[in-house]
Amino acid sequence: MLKSFTYCATDIEKGLKPYTWYKYYVLHGAVENRLSPDYVLYIDSIHSRPDLNKERVVDELSTYS
């Protein structure tokens, strides 16, 4: 049996885009878990925005160092 947990935002601004580092997380996970190439391309097509909090960017991306 495989257990999982999913977060689902329900009250967000229309047009809100994920931070670039978060999109990287999702894209990296999709590739690492061998999701279909079409789905990986779909994730990659999602527009993201830079996070102006440089400290947070470094902290979030340090997972991959």
Q: Write a three-state SS string for 2-64.
A: CCCCCCCCCCCCCCCCCEHHHHHHHHHHHHHCCCCHHHHHHHHHCCCECCCCHHHHHHHHHHH
pTM of the model: 0.78
pLDDT in tens, the chain (65 residues): 889 888 888 888 888 999 999 999 999 999 999 999 999 999 999 999 999 999 999 999 998 76
